Amino acid sequence: MAIVPTSHVLIVSALLVCIGAFGVLLRRNLLFMLLSLEVMLNGAALAFIGASARWQQPDGQIFVMFIMAMAAAEVAVGLALFLQIYRQLSTLDADALDVMRG
Amino acid sequence: MPISMMIAAPLAGAVLLALSAGRADKKVAGVVACAALLVSWVAAMRASLPLFLDAFPGTAAATSNIALERTAGGAAFVSEHLYTWFAVDRLSVDLAFKLDALAALMVLVVTGVGFLIHLYAAAYMADDPDYTRFFCYMNLFVAAMLTLVLADNLVVLYLGWEGVGVCSYLLIGFWYRDPANGAAARKAFIVTRVGDAALMIAMLLIAVELGTLQLDEIAARAVDSWPLGGVTATTVAALLLIAALGKSAQIPLQVWLPDAMAGPTPVSALLHAATMVTAGVYLIARTHELFLLAPAVLGTLATLGGLTAFLAACSALFQNDIKRVLAYSTISQIGYMFAALGVAGFGAAMFHFLTHAFFKALLFLSAGNVVHCIHETDIRRMGGLRRSRALPGTAAVAAVGAASLAALPIITSGFYSKDAILWATLQPPFVRPGLLLLLLVTAALTSLYAFRWYFMVFSGPAGPATEQKIHRPRDLMLYPLVALAAGSLLVGFLEMPETLGGYQAVSEFLHPVFAAAEQRYGLGAGSVFGTIEEIHRAEITLQAVSAVIALLGLMLAYHWYVIRPPWKERIARSPMGTSIAKIVAAGWGADAMYEIVFIAPYRALARWLHHEPVDDAIDLLTGSVRLSHYLLVLTQSGRIRTYAAGIVAGVTLILLSWLWS
Write b or e for each residue in B150-178: b if 16 or more Cβ atoms lie within 10 A of its Cβ, otherwise e.
Answer: bbbbbbbbbbbbbbbbebbbbbbbbbeee
B519 and B645 part of one domain: no
DSSP letters spanning B294-332: -HHHHHHHHHHHHHHHHHHHHHHHT--BHHHHHHHHHHH
B631 and chain A in contact, CB less than 8 A: no
Q: Distance between CA B311 and CA B176 in Å, rounded?
A: 31
Q: Is the pLDDT of residue B501 over 80?
A: no
Residue B635 CB coordination number (10 Å) = 10
B586 and B648 part of one domain: no
B491 and B638 part of one domain: no
What mean pLDDT comes out for the span B461-482?
Answer: 80
B151 CB-side CA count, 13 A: 27
Q: What chain B residue is nearest to A97 in terms of C-alpha separation? A: B639
Least confident of B102-106, B167-171, B525-529, B563-567: B525-529
Q: Distance between CA B71 and CA B67 in Å, rounded?
A: 14
pLDDT at B54: 83
The CATH T-level fold of domain A8-91 is Helix Hairpins (1.10.287)
Whether the CB-CB separation of B340 and B349 falls below 8 Å is answered with: yes
What mean pLDDT comes out for the span B25-48?
Answer: 90
Q: Residue A81 corresponds to which amino acid?
A: L
**Per-residue H/E/C for B216-272:** HHHHHHHHHHCCCCCHHHHHHHHHHHHHHHHHCCCCCCCCHHHHHHHCCHHHHHHHH
B648 contacts in A (CB within 8 Å)? Answer: 21, 24-25
Nearest in space to B486 (alpha carbons), one of B371, B370, B389, B355:
B355
Q: Is the pLDDT of residue B112 over 70?
A: yes
B598 and B654 part of one domain: no
Whether the CB-CB separation of B394 and B473 falls below 8 Å is answered with: yes
For chain A, helix, strand, coil in percent to 5 are: 80, 0, 20
Q: Residue B637 corresponds to which amino acid?
A: S
Distance from CA of B648 to the nearest CA of A (A): 8
Of residues B46 and B526, more confidently modeled:
B46
> Do the Cβ atoms of B648 and A25 come within 8 Å?
yes
Whether the CB-CB separation of B179 and B187 falls below 8 Å is answered with: no
CA B481 to chain centre: 22
Least confident of B189-203, B394-408, B522-536: B522-536
Q: Distance between CA B125 and CA B102 in Å, rounded?
A: 33
Name the band, by pLDDT with cuts 50, 70 and 90, for residue B60.
Answer: low
Let me know if residue B588 belongs to a domain. yes
**Model ipTM value:** 0.88
**CB nearest B637 (choices: A21, A33, A101):** A101
Q: Residue B63 corresponds to which amino acid?
A: T
**CB nearest B644 (choices: A25, A101, A102):** A25
B638 and chain A in contact, CB less than 8 A: yes
**CB nearest A25 (choices: B632, B633, B645):** B645
B605 and B622 part of one domain: no
B632 and chain A in contact, CB less than 8 A: yes
Q: Read off the pLDDT of residues B574-611 as tens digits, 9 standing for 90 and up.
A: 888 788 888 888 878 788 888 888 889 999 998 888 88
> Do the Cβ atoms of A25 and B633 come within 8 Å?
no
Beta partners for residue B98, in sequence order: B79
Distance from CA of A26 to the nearest CA of B (A): 8
B648 and chain A in contact, CB less than 8 A: yes
B 171-190: CB under 8 A from A: none
Whether the CB-CB separation of B504 and B354 falls below 8 Å is answered with: no
pLDDT at B59: 67
Let me know if residue B384 belongs to a domain. yes
B559 and B627 part of one domain: no
Q: What chain B residue is nearest to A100 in terms of C-alpha separation? A: B638
B548 and B629 part of one domain: no
pLDDT at B11: 93
Whether the CB-CB separation of B6 and B47 falls below 8 Å is answered with: yes
Q: Distance between CA B550 and CA B546 in Å, rounded?
A: 6
Distance from CA of A43 to the nearest CA of B (A): 15
Q: Distance between CA B212 and CA B153 in Å, rounded?
A: 9
> Do the Cβ atoms of A25 and B639 come within 8 Å?
no
> Do the Cβ atoms of A97 and B640 come within 8 Å?
yes
Q: Distance between CA B191 and CA B246 in Å, rounded?
A: 7
Q: Distance between CA A82 and CA B572 in Å, rounded?
A: 104
Candidates A22, A95, A97, A99: best to mutate against B (most CBs of B within 10 A) is A95
Indicate whether this model's pTM tops 0.90.
no
Helices (H), A27-58: 30-55
Domain count, chain B: 3
What mean pLDDT comes out for the span B314-339?
Answer: 90
B390 and B511 part of one domain: yes
Q: Is the pLDDT of residue B61 over 70?
A: no
Q: What chain A residue is nearest to B630 in terms of C-alpha separation? A: A102
B441 and B382 part of one domain: yes
Q: What percent of chain B has pLDDT over 90?
A: 32
Q: What chain B residue is nearest to A26 in terms of C-alpha separation? A: B641
Q: Strand, coil or helix: what is B109?
A: helix
Q: Which residues of A touch B (CB under 8 A)?
A: 21, 24-25, 28, 33, 94-95, 97-102
Alpha-carbon distances of B129 from B29, B113, B266, B471, rounded to whole Å:
12, 25, 16, 21
Whether the CB-CB separation of B245 and B322 falls below 8 Å is answered with: no
Taking only the tens of pLDDT, chain A with its 102 residues reads 567 888 999 999 999 999 999 999 999 899 999 999 999 999 999 999 999 988 889 999 999 999 999 999 999 999 999 999 999 888 888 888 887 777
Nearest in space to B542 (alpha carbons), one of B440, B417, B619:
B440
Candidates B634, B635, B639: best to mutate against A (most CBs of A within 10 A) is B639
B426 and B560 part of one domain: yes
Q: Residue A27 corresponds to which amino acid?
A: R
B392 and B512 part of one domain: yes
DSSP letters spanning B494-550: GB--GGGT--BHHHHHHHHHHHHHHHHHTTT-S-TT-SHHHHHHHHHHHHHHHHHHH
> Do the Cβ atoms of B641 and A100 come within 8 Å?
no
Sheet (strand B76-88) strand order:
B69-70, B76-88, B91-100
pLDDT at B156: 92
pLDDT at B651: 92
B629 and chain A in contact, CB less than 8 A: no
**Per-residue H/E/C for B406-433:** HCCCCCCHHHHHHHHHHHHCCCCCCCCH
Which helix (H) or strand (E) segment holds residue B47: the answer is helix B26-55
Q: Distance between CA B428 and CA B407 in Å, rounded?
A: 25
Residue A64 CB coordination number (10 Å) = 19
Highest mean pLDDT among A16-20, B373-377, B461-465, B634-638: A16-20
Beta partners for residue B378, in sequence order: B321
Q: Strand, coil or helix: what is B173?
A: coil
B607 and B466 part of one domain: no
Beta partners for residue B79, in sequence order: B98
Q: Distance between CA B244 and CA B214 in Å, rounded?
A: 19
Whether the CB-CB separation of B139 and B230 falls below 8 Å is answered with: no
Whether the CB-CB separation of A75 and A34 falls below 8 Å is answered with: yes
Q: Read off the pLDDT of residues B193-228 as tens digits, 9 standing for 90 and up.
A: 989 999 999 999 999 888 888 888 888 888 888 888
**CB nearest B639 (choices: A24, A33, A95):** A95
B638 contacts in A (CB within 8 Å)? Answer: 97-102
Candidates A13, A19, A25, A37: best to mutate against B (most CBs of B within 10 A) is A25
What mean pLDDT comes out for the span B80-107?
Answer: 87
Of residues A79 and B54, more confidently modeled:
A79
What mean pLDDT comes out for the span B249-255?
Answer: 86
Name the band, by pLDDT with cuts 50, 70 and 90, for residue B50.
Answer: confident
Let me know if residue B40 belongs to a domain. no
Q: Parallel, antiparallel, or unpaired for β B91-100 and B76-88? A: antiparallel
Whether the CB-CB separation of B302 and B291 falls below 8 Å is answered with: no
Name the band, by pLDDT with cuts 50, 70 and 90, for residue B34.
Answer: very high
Whether the CB-CB separation of B130 and B22 falls below 8 Å is answered with: yes
B150 CB-side CA count, 13 A: 34
CB pairs under 8 A between A and B: 34
pLDDT at B200: 94
In which domain, by residue range, is B640 found? 617-660
B630 contacts in A (CB within 8 Å)? Answer: none
> Do the Cβ atoms of B639 and A94 come within 8 Å?
yes
B644 and chain A in contact, CB less than 8 A: yes
pLDDT at A1: 55
What does the radius of gyration of chain A's CA atoms come to, in whole angstroms?
17
What mean pLDDT comes out for the span B168-191?
Answer: 90
